Amino acid sequence: MKSKGQVEEIHPGQVVYVIIRNPHAQEVANVQEAAVVQDLEDPNQLALFLYETYYLDAKHNGRTRFRFSINDNYIIKYFEPGRSRLHDRIEAAVKIAKAGLSTGIYYCFNLLA
């Protein structure tokens, strides 16, 4: 039996629920299912895999816009550490667009390369 405030040990393969707040309206939040996975960049760490398909079935009423940053690998590695890889971002953006939802792309390139 766990005492109040004690956290259960988390392992890859478990499903957890994440509360996602809207940064523009703090009173708005969604609860989303996520999978616990091994971090792709550091196998000694765990990461959360959020199911983007959750959004495909939600009732958006024409008010939801999805935005993705599609940056080169240098920008992702040094300015967005721990974020999704380029291929995964593109794959998610394509799924959202194919579902008929408003999708936008932001791009930042490395001027030093």
The model carries a pTM of 0.50
At 55 the pLDDT is 64
What is the three-class DSSP state of 91?
helix
CB 90 within 8 A of CB 105: no
Tokens, residue 51: 């199911």
Cα three-residue angle 86-91-92, rounded to 5 degrees: 100
Percent of the residues in the chain that have a pLDDT greater than 90, as a whole number: 0
pLDDT score at 75: 81
Structure-token pair, residue 22: 């809207």
Whether the predicted pLDDT of 4 surpasses 60: yes
In this predicted model, which residue has the larger pLDDT, 54 or 22?
22
Instruction: Please tell me the predicted confidence (pLDDT) of residue 37.
Output: 82
Is 106 a residue whose pLDDT tops 80?
no
* Six-digit token string for 25: 């309206």
Q: Is the pLDDT of residue 32 over 60?
A: yes
